[in-house]
Structure 1
C-alpha cells in the first residue's frame, strides 16, 4: 500500500490489521452489534493507528487533517462493499477527516466514529424518571458541539435490538453507513453526526432480536416531523423559542382555577377555516394567530382547546392517533410557528389547552408499535395491549421507561410551549382493564379486579409532575364513568386532575332537548339529575366534537320544531348551560349554530353567520360569556354546593326550571329561569332571598338574538311575598323556549 504524509510527526504504520474477516463481514452486511469497536481510529500497537471506515459506493478514500487537506494516509479497500483501512503512526489518537471520491463527485467529512460518547450513565438512568425533565434532553436528536465540532447527537431507546442505524438524506438511507453505539445499561443507542443541518430528514433502521430488519422507524423523541403522508422525522435546532408572554405566565399563577370563569372554545385547527382559493389548504399557525385568536377573544372565551396537534399520520383520526408525541404537526407550520400561535394567544389574554393522548397509539409501521422488534411500548398480550374498538395499541404503563416517556411528554408541552393545560383523552379506557371487552378478553389485576393499577399510578404521577412543573396550569380528564376522585388531589387518593368533563350532564340534557316540548314533562329529570352529583368533582360541561360526528348531526340539528323553534331551543339550552354550575366548553361551529355535522376535511360554514338566526346565536354566545365572566355569582362557586340553590325544580308540567347562583359574597346572587315550552309564562312567581331590583341581564328570547322579544322590561322589583321558602319573590314573564338571567342590583 502507498500513502503520503504531510505531517512529520506522523510516521508510516505496519500493513497488518487487527480486524477479523468476520467483523468486517458483519459490518458490511449491517449485522455488527458494536460498530464503534471496529470503525474509527484504533491503536493497534504502541503509536500505531488504524483508521477504519465503511463507505459503500466510494471509489477511493483518504485520511486528511482535521483543519487542512494534507493527506495523512491513503486508505486501502479491504472489502468490495466499501470497508477501508488507513494506517498511520501518532503519539495520540489522530484528529482527522475523510476525503472520498464517488462516481459523481468528491466530498470531505468528519468521521462520526472519531467521536467518543457524550451520554453519561446518569443521563441514561434518567429515561426511567421522566418527571425531572431530562428525558427529552437525553433521547432524540439534539444540536450539540463536540470537540469544537457542530452536529447532531442522536439517541434512541431500543433495548431488544441487535443493531440500530441512523438513516436519512445525508447517507442515502443506507443502514450500513451509520450503525449506532449501544449503552447496554439502559438499552440506549447513540451516535453523533457532524455537519448535519436543521431540516434534514432521518429515521432509524432497526434489526430486531431475531435478526429481522423491521420497517424504518420515526424517532419517538423527534421534535419535528414531515408533513403527512410523509413519515420521516426532521432535525430541529434546539434553540430557545422566542416568547413575549411573561405577563401572562405570571398572571396565570394567580387565583384558584375552580373560582375563575372558564369558557373553552374547542377547536380542530385543520377545519376551523381553510383557504378555498388555494386548493382548500390549511391555515398556518401564524394565519390562525391572526384570525382565530381575535375571533375567540371577541366572543369572550377564556381558553382555546386544541384537538391533538402532536404529529399524527391520518387526518381522519383528528389527531387522536399520534405517532410523534414531541412534535407539533407540520400541517400548519414549524415548531417555531406553533410557539408564535401560543404566544399570540397569551398576549391576547387567551389560554391554550392541548388534547393529550396517553391512552393509546396507532399501529403505523413507522410508529411505536413493535418498535425494536419487541413489544417495547405496548403490552405483549393483546388482552392488555390492544384496543379492539380503535385498532390501536395500549401503552404498558407498568414499564418504567414507558411511563417516564409519557410523563416527560406531558411536562415537555407545558414547559417547552407554555401550554396552560392538558385535557387527557379517553381516561376511562385507561382505568378499566375490561373497558369495551367481553368476559375472557381481559386480564384481571393482581387483586382480581378490573382496575388498571399501573394506569392509575401513571395518571397520578403525570398530574403531580404537571402541577409541580407549573402550578399555574391545570389538567382535565375526559372520563365517562363514575370513577371516584378523578379531580381529587393525589394525596387524598384521587387521580389528581384539576377538572373532569361532565359526560353524564351532556348526555342527559341533550336527550331532553331532543324531545318535542309536548313530551318534555316526561323527561324533566334529565335536566335536574345532574345537580345530584354536580359537586362530586370539579366539572367542565362539554358540548364537544364527539357530539357532532358519527351520524349524530349538529347540536342545532338535534333541536325539535320548525326553524324558529330550533334556534329558540338552542339559545335556551345555551342559556341553561352557561348558568349551570361547572365550567363551559363548546366545540367550534356551535357558537353560530352550524347546521351540518362536522367534517374534518372542510372549513366550517362561515357563510351561515350572514343569516340573522345564526348570527343571533353567535351574538348570544358572546353575551353569555360576558355575563358569565362579569358575574361572580355565575362562576366563583362553580365547583361548590353552596353556590347553587333550586328555586323550582319540580314543575315538570310547565317544563320550567328556576335556581339561584351565589358568589362568595352571599348577597351576590343571580336568578335563572328556563321555560322549555313554546308557551309564554306570564306572572310566574319565583322566591328570592333579598328585596330590591332584579335586573334582566340576559334573555335568550331577545330580538337581537333572533327571538320574539318577550321579556320583563329590563327588570322586576321583589315583592314582600314569601314563595318557595324564601321571604321575597319576583313576578316574571318567561318567554317561549327561553332562559332568562336576573341579577340583583
Structure 2
C-alpha cells in the first residue's frame, strides 16, 4: 500500500519511518515530511530563530507534504505554518520527537508504578533551548496485536488519519503531541490484525473521563493540586491492628441527594466534603469506605463494573475535587477506604474487552475469562502486562489520591477457577485443582507492593470462603492482606437475630460459633450494602417482633457487634434504623430522624462509636485471644451472653452482658475476675435510645461469691433485649 493511502486510511504502523525530519550530514540536506489533511500550503519554521527554512510541496496531489533544504546545521526543533481554507495556524510537528515518544516505554516493566507514570496521557515539557519550552502531551497505549493506532480528539476533529501512533517492539504505541493541554478530550482509534476498525477506545490509563454517551478520556494534570494532609500522613503510619476502626460504608450517589430545585443529580465531591465529613465526625466513625469510585458507565452497577480504573468518576466532579474530598477527610482525622475491583470488568465497547481485537486484558478461554454471575470479563492474571496494570492501579490510588486503604472486591471469585461454575465449565490448574494460582500470585504481589511502597496504607479482602491465611503475610504463605471481612460472623449472626426470641435458644451456637475461628484472620465485621438490598430487607426489617422489639433487637445486635472482636463496618442507613432497603437511585431516608425511634437508634450508634474509640479494651486486641474471654457462652435457655474484653496491658476490663430475649432479669449474676467497683458505661435499653428504660444498676460492687468459674460476681438488673457494657473501675 502506498504511504499516502496508508495514512489516509489510518493504517500506518510506523509513522516515524516516513514522517518527521531527516538530516543527511554528507550533503547537508534537511528533509521534512508531514501528513496534514485539509492543508493547502505548509512552510517550515526554525523554532529557535523563527526563520523560514522552506516550503513543503504536496506529494502526488495528496495531503502528504515533503521538502528538502540545504542547511549548514539541522534545526533542533521546527514547526509548520499551515494554510487551509479556514485560515492559518502554526503547529509543532509531533514526528520530530521520536526519542521523547519512545521514552514512554523505556523500562516500563521494571516497576509497577511506571504504568501510571509513563502510559496514558502524560503532560511533559520538552527539553529544548527556547525562551518558552514546548508544552506537550505524551501518549502511550498497549495494543500489541493492533495493526494501527491513531490518536483522535477534539484537537483533530476525531479524524483517525491525522495522528498515527508508532508501534514499539513491546506492543506499546507512542506519540508526543505538542500543544495538547490538560482538559483535551481524546480516544484511540485502533485497527485489528486484519485491518478492521474497532470501537473507539478510551484510554486504559486515562486519568479523567466524560460520562455517557461519549465516555471520552480527558488529559489531566496531577501536579496542580496542593495537598494539606502532611500531618495526617505522618500520623497515619500507625499499626492498624491495635487502633479503633469503625467504618461507615457509603454509596456516594445515594448517601444524600441534592435539593430537588438544584438541577443536579448528585452531590459533588466538594459538597460531600462539606456535608458528609461533619456527619462522620459527629457520629464518631474513624473511617469511611466508598463503593467504587473508579469510572463506570452504568449507574446500576454501583461502580462494581468499572471502565476506567485510573479515573475517579466524573459524576461528582474533577479528579482534583476528589483529592479535595480526601484531603478534607484527612484534615478531620477520617481515614478513607475505597472499594477496588480487580476481579472483572464489563464488555462496554470503549473499554478493555478485546481491546485490540484480541484478548489483551482478559483470559481468552471463556471458561476462565467470562464471569457467569456478573456477565463480565475476568482479567488474565497470568499475563505480566495485566498483572502490572492492576498492581499499578492499586498503588496509583494511594499515591495520587492519598487513599488509606483498598477493600478488594470479590476475592473468592479470583481464587477459585470453579467459582459459580458447574462441572465441565471450568479448567483445572496444573495440579488438577480449583485454585487459580495466577490470581493467588497476583494478590500476593499486589499486597507486597502496597505495604512496601506505602506502609501507612492497608488492604482488606472481601473473601467469603475458608481460604487459608488471607490476612497473613506473604512470607508466611498468606495472601498478604491486612484484614479480611468476616462473612461467617455476618451470616450466622444475622440468621440468629432474625429468629423469634423464643426460638433463639435452639440456635444459640449460631451466635457463639464465630469465636471458634475469630483469630484465624484479622477480621472486619461487616454489615455491608450487600445485606440490605435485592430483597434481603433493611437491617431493621430483618428483626422480628413489633415495632419496639424490632428496634430493640437492632440495638442489641449492634451492641453485640461492638463487643465482638474485630473491626466494625456498617452501611449507611443502618445507623438510623432505615426501614426501606437501600435504593441506589434514592437517598438515605433522613426524614426518619423526625421520629424518636430513629433518633434513638442513631444515638446508640454514635455512643457505641465513642465508647469503642474511648476504651482500648474494645479494640486493642481485636485480633488476639488475649483480649477476649467468654464469661458464659452456654446460657442458651435464657439466650444471654457474657463477654469480657481486655486491653493490651490487661488493666482495662469491660464486661458485656447481652440479653437476646424480651425478658427482664432482676439480680442477674455475672461472674467477674476481681473485687471492687463496676460501672455501667452503656445500656442499649436506655431511654435516649428509645429503649424501655428498665431500671438497671449504674454501679455495682463485686462480692466474694464465685460464679461463671470466676472468683467474684456482681448482681445486675438486666433489661429486655439489651446490651450492657460494664467497666471494671477497681
Asked if these proteins are the same fold (TM beyond 0.5), I'd say yes
Instruction: Supply the RMSD in Å over aligned alpha carbons.
Output: 1.6
C-alpha contact (below 8 Å) 2:4/2:62 kept by paired residues: no
Pick aligned residue for 2:2 from 15, 22, 28: 22
Q: Which residue of 1 aligns with 2:68?
A: 87
Q: Which residue of 1 aligns with 2:656?
A: 672
Q: Which residue of 1 aligns with 2:30?
A: 49
Kindly indicate whether residue 89 of structure 2 is the aligned counterpart of residue 107 of structure 1: yes
Pick aligned residue for 1:98 from 61, 80, 90: 80
List aligned pairs for 1:508-527, cutoff 5 A: 508-527=492-511
Pick aligned residue for 1:306 from 272, 287, 290: 290
Query: Partners in 1 of 2:60 and 2:185 — Cα distance?
Result: 29
Deviates most, 230-239 or 38-47: 38-47
Kindly indicate whether residue 685 of structure 2 is the aligned counterpart of residue 705 of structure 1: no
Deviates most, 663-672 or 341-350: 663-672
Post-superposition CA distance 1:531-558 (Å, at most 9, x none):
1111110000000011111111211111
Query: Partners in 1 of 2:558 and 2:212 — Cα distance?
Result: 38
Pick aligned residue for 1:59 from 33, 40, 44: 40
- Kindly tell me: are residues 493 and 334 of structure 1, through their superposed partners in 2, closer, same or farther at Cα, counting changes over 3 Å? same
Query: Partners in 2 of 1:503 and 1:297 — Cα distance?
Result: 27
Post-superposition CA distance 1:475-512 (Å, at most 9, x none):
10000000010011110000011110000110111111
Kindly indicate whether residue 119 of structure 2 is the aligned counterpart of residue 139 of structure 1: yes
C-alpha contact (below 8 Å) 1:220/1:368 kept by paired residues: yes
Kindly indicate whether residue 206 of structure 2 is the aligned counterpart of residue 222 of structure 1: yes
Query: Partners in 2 of 1:202 and 1:456 — Cα distance?
Result: 36
Q: Which residue of 2 aligns with 1:9?
A: none
Kindly indicate whether residue 551 of structure 2 is the aligned counterpart of residue 559 of structure 1: no
Pick aligned residue for 1:39 from 8, 16, 19: 19
TM-score (norm 1): 0.94
Deviation of 1:120 (Å) = 5.5
Deviation of 1:323 (Å) = 1.2
Deviation of 1:597 (Å) = 0.9
Q: Which residue of 2 aligns with 1:179?
A: 164
C-alpha contact (below 8 Å) 1:126/1:135 kept by paired residues: no
Gaps of 5+ in 2: none
Deviates most, 170-179 or 140-149: 140-149
Q: Which residue of 2 aligns with 1:271?
A: 254
Query: Partners in 2 of 1:277 and 1:560 — Cα distance?
Result: 39
Gaps of 5+ in 1: 1-20
Post-superposition CA distance 1:74-98 (Å, at most 9, x none):
3322245522223322233343222
Deviation of 1:71 (Å) = 4.2
Paired positions, count: 721
Secondary structure of residue in 1 paired with 2:146: coil
Query: Partners in 2 of 1:230 and 1:575 — Cα distance?
Result: 48
Post-superposition CA distance 1:370-418 (Å, at most 9, x none):
1112111111000011101101111111111110111111111111111
Deviates most, 379-388 or 327-336: 327-336
Deviation of 1:662 (Å) = 1.2
Q: Which residue of 1 aligns with 2:448?
A: 464
Q: Which residue of 1 aligns with 2:623?
A: 639
Secondary structure of residue in 2 paired with 1:326: coil
List aligned pairs for 1:66-81, cutoff 5 A: 66=47, 71-81=52-62
Q: Which residue of 2 aligns with 1:11?
A: none
List aligned pairs for 1:157-168, cutoff 5 A: 157-168=142-153
Query: Partners in 2 of 1:478 and 1:736 — Cα distance?
Result: 35
Q: Which residue of 2 aligns with 1:371?
A: 355
C-alpha contact (below 8 Å) 1:361/1:393 kept by paired residues: yes
Secondary structure of residue in 1 paired with 2:309: strand
Deviation of 1:674 (Å) = 1.0
Query: Partners in 1 of 2:509 and 2:12 — Cα distance?
Result: 70
Secondary structure of residue in 2 paired with 1:274: coil
Post-superposition CA distance 1:33-74 (Å, at most 9, x none):
111111122347832233222122233333234267754333
C-alpha contact (below 8 Å) 1:696/1:714 kept by paired residues: yes
Q: Which residue of 1 aligns with 2:337?
A: 353
- Kindly tell me: are residues 374 and 175 of structure 1, through their superposed partners in 2, closer, same or farther at Cα, counting changes over 3 Å? same
C-alpha contact (below 8 Å) 1:499/1:540 kept by paired residues: yes
Query: Partners in 2 of 1:608 and 1:24 — Cα distance?
Result: 69
C-alpha contact (below 8 Å) 1:693/1:717 kept by paired residues: yes
Post-superposition CA distance 1:416-450 (Å, at most 9, x none):
11111111000000000110001111111111111
Post-superposition CA distance 1:586-626 (Å, at most 9, x none):
01111111111111122211111121111111110010011
Q: Which residue of 2 aligns with 1:591?
A: 575
Secondary structure of residue in 1 paired with 2:657: strand
TM-score (norm 2): 0.96
Query: Partners in 2 of 1:289 and 1:37 — Cα distance?
Result: 51
Deviation of 1:138 (Å) = 1.2
